[in-house]
A = this chain, B = another copy of it.
Amino acid sequence: MATIKDVAKAAQVSVATVSRVLNDTGYVHTDTKTRVTQAMQELNYFPNEVARSLFNRESRLIGLILPDITNPFFPQLARGVEDEIHAHGFRLLFGNSDEDREKELAYLQTFKQNQVVGVIAVTNEPESDMYNDDLPVVFLDRTVPNAPSVFADAATGGKMAAMELIKRGSRQITLLKGPAHLQTARQRFKSALDVLTEKGVDFHVMSNASFSFQEARKSAKALFQLYPETDGIIASNDIVATAVIHEALRIGKAIPDEVQIIGFDDIPQSELLFPSLSTIRQPAYDMGKEAAKLLIKSIQKQPIDQSVIQMPVSFIERETTRKVDSQ
């Protein structure tokens, strides 16, 4: 790769001048500029970002930490982030944390060592010291009060799920309670519960500690054994809902006539299931985009009107819930 020196030599000017045309800063004569530009092209010159980063004490890299890109909720998020930062000339440094504190810390550390300008993180430890320095951070999906963050309206989501099921005639509802360490899962659960209590609807609660399909399968099996009279199920997310559908199909329960099922997230495959899954949608792609926008504003020290962004959820009506005449 050619360096600024090579260009300077070829254009018969100093490196300072080359730097000026490169950054379009300070005075430089039109003719000189032409000569320099030409030299750059001839040498196929591109500035070394590393040298720039060293001087500026910051790179044009943004770090993204996700639990696991293999989990179908996250690619959308990542894509939203990537599209937005790419449009602003930033590049993505990416790592899977597996929700492991040590791994997360290691990533964050190397991100800093690479002088990233900011970080977007889906983390269970937003309050940790590791995020407690001057590096701009935006928390995605999981957060802590008042920290810059983007997340979906879990309370409304939980409420919606319960309301839609009731409206569509479920009278014996079973709630599948998600992982306790996830604030969003707890919140959805709680507000669904509140609605059920308030409306005086019969309900049961089952815990399934993980979002893995295999675990969910067991919970689903247990659910239908323990509460065979259940006619409505609020799953903790779409993966779990998928397992519930499978089990219902397996034991010959008619969906949605005998039992209605509703999920959370609206991951891409939910639409492709049979029957396709009715669910409470989180706008994952947009959440990623918003997080990136927020981070970039913060990096560029632009005024920020809203640093805590709650995104709306919506009920996606598909085939695991019954139709109602008038909504």
Residues of A within 8 A of B (CB): 1, 46-51, 53-54, 59, 61, 68-70, 72, 74-76, 78-79, 82-83, 86, 91-96, 107, 109-110, 112-115, 213, 242, 245-246, 249, 268-269, 272-274
Contact = CB atoms under 8 A, between A and B. Distances in A.
A123 to B, nearest CB: 17
Contacts of A273: 272-274
A76 B82 contact: no
Given A50-B113, A69-B82, A94-B94, 17 more contacts: A1-B112, A46-B112, A46-B113, A48-B54, A48-B115, A49-B114, A50-B50, A50-B53, A50-B115, A69-B78, A72-B72, A75-B75, A82-B96, A83-B96, A242-B272, A269-B272, A274-B274
Given A91-B93, A94-B94, A75 B69 contact: yes
Contacts of A50: 50, 53-54, 59, 113-115
B72 A69 contact: no
A74 to B, nearest CB: 8
Given A54-B54, A69-B69, A96 B79 contact: yes
Contact of A79 (B47, B69, B86): B69
A149 to B, nearest CB: 22
Nearest to A58: B50
Nearest to A106: B86
Contacts of A76: 70
A211 B59 CA distance: 37
Contacts of A94: 82, 92-94
A83 B54 CA distance: 28
12 contacts: A49-B114, A61-B93, A69-B78, A70-B79, A70-B268, A72-B268, A82-B94, A91-B107, A92-B95, A246-B274, A272-B273, A273-B273
A108 to B, nearest CB: 11
Contacts of A51: 54
A213 B272 contact: yes
A59 to B, nearest CB: 7
A70 B272 CA distance: 15
A46 B105 CA distance: 13
Nearest to A52: B113
A246 B276 CA distance: 10
Contacts of A83: 96
B109 A46 contact: yes
Nearest to A249: B274
A61 B274 contact: no
A110 B213 contact: no
